[in-house]
Amino acid sequence: MASTPGAEHDYVIVGAGSSGSVIARRLLDRGHSVHVIEAGPADEDERVHSPQGWPMLLQSELDWAAMTEPQRHAGGRRLYWPRGKVLGGSSSLNGMIYVRGHRSDYDAWAYQGCTGWDWDSVFPLFKRSENHMDGASEWHGGDGPLPVSRIAEPHPTAAAFVDAAMALGHPLTEDFNGERMTGVGFNHTTTRDGRRMSAWQSFMAPVVDHPKLTVTTGARVHRVLLEDGRATGVEYAADGALHRARAASEVVLSGGVIGSAALLLLSGIGPAAHLRDVGVEVAVDLPGVGENLHDHPLVSNVYEATRPLPPGTANLLESQLFASTDPRRPGPDLQPLFLHLVYPAESYEMPEHGYTLAAGIVRPLSRGTLRLASADPEAAPLLDPNILAERYDMEAMVDAVEICREIGAHAAFDDWRKAEAAPGPEARTREDLREFVRRAVGTYHHQVGTCKMGQDSLAVVDPELRVYGVAGLRVADASIMPSISSGNTNAPSIMIGEKAADLLTAAG
C-alpha cells in the first residue's frame, strides 16, 4: 500500500492501531478524506489472525520489541515491551481480551479536569463500537464494527482457575463489562468465528477500497510539519526516500504510548531543556511530553503440569480475576490472569509442560519517563517506567502473587499440578515474594500516559485531545490517559478513537 507523495487529505492519521483505525473509519463514514500512515506492514501474516498465534508474534518482525532502561527497583533488569508494528498495531498482537475498566477510572479523569470523559459520557462510545455476540443489551452494543465473543469451550485448566477462585470466596462474574467487575470469570474476546478481530480488521478492512482513503505501510514518520504554529502534515520515510503528507484539516497522532510521544519530541514539541540536550530545535516548550509513563506490572506464578496440556480453542488467556487489596476501594486494583501455557518468569527454570497464574496490578502509582536518545528519528527512545518505585505497587504485587498461589494450590488443580516452578516452594515469606517480584516482574503490555490529557502544567493535550500550543494537531491513543484504566487497555483505546472522531468532526 502506498501513497502519492505530497498529496493532501482532510486528515492525516499516524498509526493504524486500536485508536487510529477507529478514527479513520469514522472520518470516512462522515465524508472526509483520510491518509493513514503505518510503520509496519499489512496484516497478512496468518499468526496475526489466529487467536492462538500471539505468542509467536512476540519479538517477531511485527513487534517493535521495545526494551526499557535498567529498572532500579527490579534488579537493574531491562523489561521487554511488545508493541505491534503492523496494521492494527498492538490489537494485532495482543491477547484479545475485551475489558473496558471500572467506571471510577473515567470519573477520576473527569474530576482531574478532563470534562466529557466521565463514565456516563464514554459508556455510549464503548457500546457504539461493539458487535457483541449476544446482541444489544443494557451493557453491550450489538451493531458496531468490533466483534466481541464469549469463550464457547473453556480450557479445562481455565475452568479449574475459576472453580478454585470461587471455592476460595471470590464471586463468579459472568461479564467483566457488566454490572460488577470484581470477581472471577471467563473473558470476552475480540474474536469471531475463530479469528482475531483487530481494530484494523474490524473497522478498516471492510472499507479499505474507499475512494477517499489512502493507506501507506512501511513508513516511518520523522516529524510533524509546523507552519506558523499550526500542524500542516507530516514528513515520513518510505522506500528509501522522504515524503510529505499534507492535512487540510488536522493531523492526528495515534502512534501509541511510545510513538506519539517520541514524534512530538522529534518535532520540537516537548521539554525545552531535553530537546536542546539531544539537538532538536524547540518549537513548543511543553514539559509534560514523555512524562507520566506507566504500565500494569505482571509476574508469572508458573506451575509444572502432570502432563502436556490439551490445545485450547480460544485466545490462551481465557479466565481471570479482578480483586481488591481493600474492599473499601470503588473498584479492583488486582488482576490475576490465567494462561494455559508457560509464560516465563525471568531467571527461573521453566518446565516443558505447564500453566501460569499471572499476578498483576491495575492501579499502579509508579510513574516514569520517555526521552529521546538522540535527534535521529530512527533511534529507539529511552523508556524508563520506574516500575515498583512506589511501595504500594510492590505490596499490591505481593498480594496478587499470594492470591495466585492460593488458587494454584487449590484442589481444583490437583489433577494438573505437578510442582510450582516459580517462585517455587522455597519462597515462604512476603520478603521472599518481594524478591521474586523484583527478580521476575514484567508487564501486562498496557503502557499509557506519555501525552497526558488534562489541564495541569504537565498535560500535553486538552480534553478535546488538542496538543497545547499547536493548532491542527491532536493525539488520540493510550498515551493520553492521565491514569491507566483498571483492566486491559485495548477496549479503552478503541473508545478513545471513537471520542476523537467525534471531537474532530465537531471541530470540522
Q: Where are the beta strands (DSSP E) in 133-190?
A: 146-150, 183-186, 188-189
Please indicate if the annotation marks 257 as binding a ligand.
no
Closest C-alpha among 298, 293, 281 to residue 336:
298
C-alpha grid cell for residue 45?
Answer: 501474516
The residues, ordered by sequence, that sit 6+ positions from 439 with a Cβ below 8 Å of its Cβ are 74, 75, 346, 347, 348
DSSP result, 219-258: -EEEEEEEETTEEEEEEEEETTEEEEEEEEEEEEE-SHHH
- Give catalytic status of residue 294 as yes or no: no
For 47, the enclosing helix (H) or strand (E) is: helix 46-49
Please indicate if the annotation marks 475 as binding a ligand.
no
Closest C-alpha among 398, 484, 15, 31 to residue 249:
31
Closest C-alpha among 446, 188, 448 to residue 320:
188
Measured CA distances, 245 to 113, 251, 262 (Å): 34, 10, 19
Please indicate if the annotation marks 221 as binding a ligand.
yes
Q: Which residue out of 9, 102, 445, 446 is catalytically annotated?
A: 446
Question: Which of the 8 DSSP states describes residue 70?
Answer: P
Residue with cell 470461587: 166
**Residues 184 and 320: beta-carbon distance below 8 Å:** yes
Point out the annotated binding site: 86, 221, 444
Point out the annotated binding site for substrate: 444
Catalytic residues: 446
Point out the annotated binding site for FAD: 86, 221
